[in-house]
Amino acid sequence: MTNVIELEQLSVTFGKRPILKALDGALKGRAIGLLGPNGAGKTTLIHTLLGFHPPTSGTARIFGRDIAADAKEVRATVGYMPEQDAFIAGMSCVNFVRLMAELSGIPARHALERAHEALFYVGLGEARYRPVDSYSLGMKQLAKLAQAIVHGPKLIILDEPTNGLDPPTRSRMIALIRQIRDGGRARILLSSHLLRDVEECCDEILILKDGSIAANCNLEEERRANRKFIELETRGGDRLAFAEAVGGLGCEYALSGERRLKLILQEQIEIGDLYRLALEKGVQIRRLNYKRDSLEEIFLKAMENEGLTESVGVNGRAVNGGL
């Protein structure tokens, strides 16, 4: 798989303060989640990739092009949806997106057509002639997505795309991101404080902590590696005898509370074998769950021993980084 982003000892310092510290790694996913608490360096990394901040040392490449030496080509390849609004007062949405298309290198004679297409794609076709000032928050977010994709970029950088959205509009935004991802014509770098957004959209994650890489992993590989972790909730019978029988099959197990059993299912063992043993020992299996290494667990592990006070959201809730 082609490297989307390559980081080579990338460092950025503001004054005497190091913000990014010798980042090294290659990102290949269709959709890459960028995570970390406030102050970890996420925004600085995005702005450095876009050429807003020159590296103090080291470099980065996007699809093999150096962000400094090939800055013009990189900008033509990348679409950027910023967290903060950056609209022009009084301008209609279609003219704003047309302008962004021209600034991205689309000839003027094609830019307006592309703007119409992008706005219909994100669901703003009926409102495209209205001033962006009159838009709701959700419509403004969709307008920012439209201008990020209007020139057909190979990489789309999304900075907090669901920030402040109500549930229906958030669902629409997530569906659009996944549609772009699955279309295969563009890769995505998604920065978000909501782990749920990243888990729903991304197949690879990069976690920053204090300007360094705390974790970089493929979520699908993590999930496949953990597909044999099982948690059972039981009732009645001889639970200890049942657990020992499960161990006799070669499964590692641990008793949890009065009714739960956690185990690692070996390749040659089927779920039916567990129910057979339960029947023999008079135990009822009331619930069976496959446990996967969730993004929340990966994130918290990366944050271990940091004593963080900032939070990142999981399923709409906040997860304290100091856990």
Give domain status of residue 300, yes or no.
Answer: no
| Per-residue pLDDT reduced to its tens digit, 172-189 | 999 999 999 999 989 999
Do 168 and 247 share a domain, yes or no? no
DSSP H stretches of helix in 27-103: 42-49, 71-77, 93-103
pLDDT tens for the chain, 323 residues long, are 689 999 999 999 999 899 999 999 999 999 999 999 989 999 999 999 999 999 999 999 999 999 999 999 998 999 999 999 989 999 999 999 999 999 998 999 899 999 999 999 999 999 999 999 999 999 999 999 999 999 999 999 999 999 999 999 999 999 999 999 999 989 999 999 889 999 999 999 999 999 999 999 988 777 666 557 788 899 988 888 998 998 888 888 888 877 888 888 777 788 888 999 999 999 999 988 876 557 877 888 888 744 433 434 444 444 433 32
Give domain status of residue 80, yes or no.
Answer: yes
Mean pLDDT across the chain:
88
Residue 69 in contact with residue 55, Cβ under 8 Å?
Answer: no
Residue 7 in contact with residue 34, Cβ under 8 Å?
Answer: no
Do 79 and 188 share a domain, yes or no? yes
End-to-end alpha carbon distance in the chain: 35
- Distance, CA of 131 to CA of 172 (rounded, Å): 22
DSSP classification of residue 306: -
Q: What is the CATH number of the domain that holds 97?
A: 3.40.50.300
Do 262 and 151 share a domain, yes or no? no
Do 158 and 79 share a domain, yes or no? yes
- Distance, CA of 234 to CA of 321 (rounded, Å): 33
Query: Could you tell me the residue range of the domain that residue 206 belongs to?
Result: 5-221
| Per-residue pLDDT reduced to its tens digit, 29-52 | 999 999 999 899 999 999 999 999
Do 196 and 269 share a domain, yes or no? no
